[in-house]
Amino acid sequence: MAGPYKKRLIVTADDFGLSLAVNEAVEQAHREGILTAASLMVGAPAAADAVARARRLPTLRIGLHLVMVEAWPTLPPADLPDLVGPDGLIRSDMGRLGLDLALKASARKQLAAEITAQFEAYQATGLPLDHVNAHKHFHVHPLIAGAVLSIGRRCGMRAVRVPREPRAVLRAAEPGAAPKPALDSAPWAALLAVRARQAGLLIPDRTLGLAWSGAMTPARVSALLAHLPDGLTELYTHPATGGGFSGEAPGYAYAAELDALTAPASRAALTASGAILGGFSDFAA
C-alpha cells in the first residue's frame, strides 16, 4: 500500500468477558482511547455482559478468544474427560496437554468438539466475527492449529492472530532492553502463518505485546507506536479497571495497560505514525 495507508494497526484487548473489570476497561479504552478490537471468551463468567457492551459499541470489532487451556470450557466438563481437570476447568499443563493431544485420539475428538462449541456459542451472539485467536496462544500447536483452521473456516473465520514479534521493534522502543520471547513458539508460529495464508486467512505481519505481556505500560505502548513498521500490525493488551483485579495472571499490570490505551501520549504517537486504525475486517480487502 502507498501513502498514508502503509501502516495499518489493530489494537486488541484479550480476555473480553473474563470479568466486569475487564469489560469496563474494554469499553472505556474504545470510547476514550485507541482500542479497536476485543477478543471474547464465550464461556467466561462475564461473557453475557461483554456481549451486551459489544452490541452498544458497533465500531468495536469483536473476535473469538478460543479457550483450550486454563479456563472455562463451553461443553459440560463430563464431555471432556481428557481435557478438563477436577476443578471443571480446562487443564493448565500445556506441555502435557499437547502431548495427550498427540497420543490420544479421544483427546483430539474432545478438542474438536469444544472448539466447535465455542464457535457456535460465538455465532449465537449475533456479533460479526472479526478475528480468532487463543488463550495463551495455544492455537500455534500444530494439532490445535489444524482443528482451528478446519473448524474456523466452516464457521466464518476470516482472520487469525499469528504471534510473531520482531525483536528489532522492541529494541527500538526500549533501547538497551533485551526482551525475551514470551513463549518458545517461533517455529510453530511460522508454520501457522503458512497454513493460515494457504487457507486464505488474513494474518498480521507482526504481533506486539508478546514479550511485554502484562506489562504494556503507557511508556512502552507510546514507544512502540512511535516505531511502528509498515504493514499490518496487531498490538494486543490485557486492560482492566481498578487496582485490585488480579485476573488469571497475578503480576500483570492490568490498570497500567488500560492507562496505556487511553493516554494522550499514545494518541499523539499514533497520530504521528500516520497509521490507520481498524479491526481485521476493516483491512480484509
Tell me the pLDDT tens digit for each residue of 182-223: 455 778 899 999 999 999 999 999 999 999 999 999 999 999
**What is the average pLDDT score of the chain?**
92
Question: How much of the chain exceeds pLDDT 70, in percent?
Answer: 92
Look up the pTM and report it: 0.93
Q: What is the pLDDT of residue 1?
A: 39
143: Cα within 13 Å, side-chain hemisphere: 17
Partners of 9 in beta bridges:
233, 277
Task: Give which of 66, 153, 83, 151 is closest to 116, Cα–Cα.
Answer: 151
Reported as a pLDDT band with limits 50, 70 and 90, residue 231 is very high
User: Burial of 244 by CB count in 10 Å (0-12 exposed, 13-18 middle, 19+ buried)?
Assistant: exposed
pLDDT higher at 257 or 245: 257
Instruction: Give the CATH number, domain containing residue 42.
Output: 3.20.20.370
Residue 248 reports pLDDT greater than 80:
no
Question: In which domain, by residue range, is 96 found?
Answer: 3-283
Place of cell 500455534: 140
Q: How many domains does the chain have?
A: 1
